[in-house]
Structure 1
């Protein structure tokens, strides 16, 4: 007869073996942060941090699908690439130079900048040497040692592709279809996200090696860069949710909003602890009617006292006419030369004055909260079609060099 104590010991041993086997069979799931859409309004700082953690989680290689998190790796794992960097690059993978239709979401045939990496070495803490970086000049923030990019998640990308908004001609056809009643106003799906990132050239800015380890890094055209700014735009609310993060050594921006949540525990001890929230935005105005402000030192270099939501509200398309004055002014405030859109320094100065490119001069971006309905009219009638705050559509769309897909002709 088996003695009771020996039987109990056997059960304990068996249970321990089963637990050990289960642990081997099912690795720990590190994808623990799931943003709640309700937080966008109820607790925007919390929502911003949760988005930051979710989007910067290590991604699986794109051969396993774009935007797929690697839940077997902890947040901030050295050598990992962030989820958002496996999304579609607006400049090279969405709005193509010949205006043709971009391929399916998971296709990887088009060129793309090398995604960033968490440095292999552990982050070091030390005093920074920030310096003034660069002013955007061509829509992707190349100039004086920096570059920038915009990336679309699957929902955003597939909407642009499905509605044939990837080319200038397609956008004009869409605008005409809305007037004809065969299409409705542009409204992105609620799970749409865009990310805008700005980077600095370490060599150009004389960033010491030990300080480089405090940045999320990328190699591009033979140079090494560090991420300085990350804008996050989500369709969690009708007017989108806006959040911005920046490296701790960034020069201060007096138009930031306070962080009421604080850095999550999992961020601490990783390279991402060197990044700070610059603020959030969900409305054009405060309860007292004054305009809300949100900007970043680098992306909005020459117009920091500005409003993301108001600026993006000017993003429009039309059937065949020049840009509306409001949109042209918004673009002129960002850059004095966009020949593809018919803008050059002379045109811009005619729109917003001789001091157009000095901080504190364009009231459209700086002081205006709620958009003016007149911005979107022609001859007193509604004419310009808003692109649901997505500026990459009118900004990056190119002319078609060949016939579009049959489904894109309405």
Structure 2
């Protein structure tokens, strides 16, 4: 069995708005300046978009996209929130297999909600290929899907402002939340943004970066925090005791210059890069781990963004190829896959695995959704009457 350590290999994005001279990207920044590029993506997603809204809030939510008449928003829209999907899917898989259901991870009881947003390039690709509905996903079985290079997605995790004191172990009051967090309202409730994943198709297997608010009590727990560009302390080791909080990620002059020159709400200075990822293993073959203390609450120790999303695939009937195979419950809680993708996730072998598709003994069992779980999870069922709504609908 391959040993795993919490070493991160990082990568990012180059083609973004101009940045100050002190932070200009070197050539091939997606491979040579990954943390800097992660911050460029973060700034791009959170640039002001009128009123108190950020740019990502003008992008299409899963609710906007996975419906009979997908519409890209004409302006910013409120958060389209749903309960965190990862713990729920894992529990469904365990239940289907007859396993015993353990208690939900701690964060599930703290009112956390999430949403996924797709920029215009991502939205258009899914719509143009009919991947927003089950019949289109079925028709895509056996095809190679590859999003355009300007595709970006974000996943935001939100906590009700009224719960911020409890969530932060009283480091912030509800009254202070608007001065410390990006805040927006959904269904009459004010929510504070506590974490954000940002992914980009600037490299074939996407770039992966995750950010957390500095007051998140478990921000660097288990695997530590790494930011070689934006934090004056590039590596923060995890505390021996979980949930105790960490010092502020004081910004480097280069990142401070980027943030000050951007049209972005100053509250975003309170967010920290937890880590970035662009590969499955490091240069000595050890699994790379990246996990957000909110998004991956309960299974940070075995989290790999790229491996988890690499399992995003669908069967010939358009349904997810691995309803819970990417996240299962072991004796100590949820477990996510680490390391490279395995051929048996997509193929069935009746004999010695052949080298090429089409040779005897090799049968396709799943088609990769190009790392985008929203396709197999959220496509609405247009094959039944009445049409079934997307399971990913927010409030």
For normalisation by structure 1, the TM-score amounts to 0.66
1:164 is matched with which residue? 130
- Greater percentage in helix: 1
Q: CA deviation at 1:383?
A: 2.6
1:95 to 55, 58, 66: 66
Q: CA deviation at 1:322?
A: 6.0
| Distance change >3 Å, CA 159–CA 143, structure 1 → 2 | farther
| Distance change >3 Å, CA 157–CA 323, structure 1 → 2 | closer
| Distance change >3 Å, CA 312–CA 212, structure 1 → 2 | same
Please give the per-residue CA displacement for 1:143-197, whole angstroms capped at 9, x wherever unaligned: 632211000001100000000000122101111xx3xxxxx40000011111000
Determine whether 1:376 maps to 2:376.
no
Structure 1 stretches of 5 or more lacking a match? 1-30, 61-78, 117-132, 179-183, 334-351, 405-410
For normalisation by structure 2, the TM-score amounts to 0.68
Determine whether 1:199 maps to 2:158.
yes
Alignment of 1:55-134 (within 5 A): 55-60=45-50, 79-90=51-62, 92-96=63-67, 100-103=68-71, 105-106=72-73, 112-114=77-79
2:268 to 249, 265, 272: 272
Q: CA deviation at 1:112?
A: 4.8
2:376 to 369, 394, 399: 394
| Distance change >3 Å, CA 33–CA 86, structure 1 → 2 | farther
Q: CA deviation at 1:298?
A: 0.6
Q: CA deviation at 1:211?
A: 4.4
Determine whether 1:185 maps to 2:147.
no
Asked if the contact 1:201/1:223 (under 8 Å) is kept, the reply is yes
| Distance change >3 Å, CA 233–CA 135, structure 1 → 2 | closer
1:242 to 208, 211, 216: 208
Task: Give the Cα–Cα distance (whole angstroms) in 2 for the partners of residues 134 and 87 of structure 1.
Answer: 20
Task: Give the Cα–Cα distance (whole angstroms) in 2 for the partners of residues 107 and 85 of structure 1.
Answer: 11
| Distance change >3 Å, CA 403–CA 396, structure 1 → 2 | same
1:292 to 288, 294, 305: 288
> What secondary structure, in the 3-state scheme, does the structure 2 residue paired with 1:309 have?
helix
Task: Give the Cα–Cα distance (whole angstroms) in 2 for the partners of residues 93 and 310 of structure 1.
Answer: 27
Q: CA RMSD in A?
A: 3.0
Paired residues, number: 298
| Distance change >3 Å, CA 205–CA 260, structure 1 → 2 | closer
1:48 is matched with which residue? 38
| Distance change >3 Å, CA 153–CA 322, structure 1 → 2 | closer
Please give the per-residue CA displacement for 1:234-288, whole angstroms capped at 9, x wherever unaligned: 0011111000111001123332452111231243692111100001000000000
Task: Give the Cα–Cα distance (whole angstroms) in 2 for the partners of residues 42 and 86 of structure 1.
Answer: 30
Task: Give the Cα–Cα distance (whole angstroms) in 2 for the partners of residues 321 and 270 of structure 1.
Answer: 43
Structure 2 stretches of 5 or more lacking a match? 1-16, 90-106, 166-171, 231-250, 351-362, 388-395
| Distance change >3 Å, CA 114–CA 388, structure 1 → 2 | closer
Q: Highest relative contact order (Cα 8 Å, sep 6+), 1 or 2?
A: 2
| Distance change >3 Å, CA 170–CA 134, structure 1 → 2 | closer
Determine whether 1:313 maps to 2:310.
yes
> What secondary structure, in the 3-state scheme, does the structure 2 residue paired with 1:164 have?
coil
| Distance change >3 Å, CA 143–CA 38, structure 1 → 2 | farther
Task: Give the Cα–Cα distance (whole angstroms) in 2 for the partners of residues 253 and 373 of structure 1.
Answer: 32
2:228 is matched with which residue? 260
| Distance change >3 Å, CA 256–CA 87, structure 1 → 2 | farther
| Distance change >3 Å, CA 114–CA 290, structure 1 → 2 | closer
